[in-house]
Amino acid sequence: MKNSERPIGVFDSGLGGLTVFKELRGLLPGENLIYFGDTARVPYGTKSPEAVIAFSKEIASFLIGRKIKLLVVACNTASSLALEEVRRISPVPVLGVIVPGVDAALAVVQHGGRILVTGTSGTIKSRAYSKALAASGSRMQVMEKACPLFVPLVEEGWCSKPVAAAVAREYLLPFRKKKIDALILGCTHYPLLKKVIAGVMGPRTRIVDSARAAALAARAELAGRSLLNAGKRGRYEFVVSDAPERFSALALRLLGIRTGKVKVKRF
């Protein structure tokens, strides 16, 4: 197999990373993709950094064993807490979703503007986004808000029910007054609530999707290494650590993705 034909590995704590998978598939239709969802141990957003690091390293080793050419850590919590540790053990480049999300926000916000980062408790506690924004040298005013109830709402398929709007108002309405220029959807699941979130924040606030930004970063990384696989349609493989039927059903219901048979890999 040519190096360019090797798959891109993508992993998440569960099915939320399929938002990144979908963007990758749309942007890079020739790529072979292998997606791992850690459905046995989801959610990561409430776990300790030690646990998230250990899980992420296990999954990375599994995907590296599958001869991937690039590893995309689609989970924001794992990207926040475990990216450096995963890079240390990986012979292939590893991309997270934090820096791409920050770059996408910086592209739409003027110097000195206001950015609100949303994410799981683990992501917000790590301050990974604020640190990346500070490291970019831009002088933004950064606010952060953990929105832990968003993940179960999405998992339940309740994205357009009134309860989703009520929860979004509870978390985000206080920020509407603060004239936020961009809100970063710093969690795999939040793009599925984009409309609801945009509705609460109002027309002034741009909603930045780190899933799209991560797919663009993956394309740039592969192009830079002459590893893009153009040509015929890519093959897709899905592996989870538990409950493959539930994963498959939710992938179809929430994201319109037909997974075919989902394999199981237990750690």
Rule CB under 6 A: which residues touch ligand DGL? 12-14, 16, 42-45, 75-77, 120, 123, 151, 187-189
Q: Which is nearer to ligand DGL, 213 or 227 (CB)?
A: 213
Please report how close the Cβ of residue 36 comes to ligand DGL at its closest, in angstroms: 12
What are the DSSP E strand ranges found in 139-222?
141-146, 182-186, 206-209
Least separation, in Å, of the C-beta of 97 and ligand DGL? Answer: 7
**Nearest residue to ligand DGL on Cβ basis:** 45
Using CA atoms, how far apart are residues 174 and 116, in angstroms rounded to an integer? 12
CB of 42 to ligand DGL, least distance (A): 5
Question: 133 near 200, Cβ under 8 Å?
Answer: no
Q: Catalytic: 159? A: no
- Nearest to ligand DGL of 153, 227 (CB atom): 153
Angle at 14 between CA 85 and CA 165, to 5 degrees: 115
Could you say which of 60, 75, 116, 257 is catalytic?
75
The least CB distance from residue 93 to ligand DGL, in Å, is 20
For residue 84, count other CB atoms closer than 10 A to its CB.
10
Specify the residue, 32 or 76, whose C-beta has the smaller distance to ligand DGL. 76
- Enumerate residues 6+ apart whose C-beta is below 8 A from 157: 250, 253, 254
Catalytic residue among 60, 105, 164, 187: 187
3 state SS of 16:
coil
Whether 183 contacts 204, CB under 8 Å: no
Judge whether 187 counts as a catalytic residue. Answer: yes
List residues with catalytic annotation: 75, 187
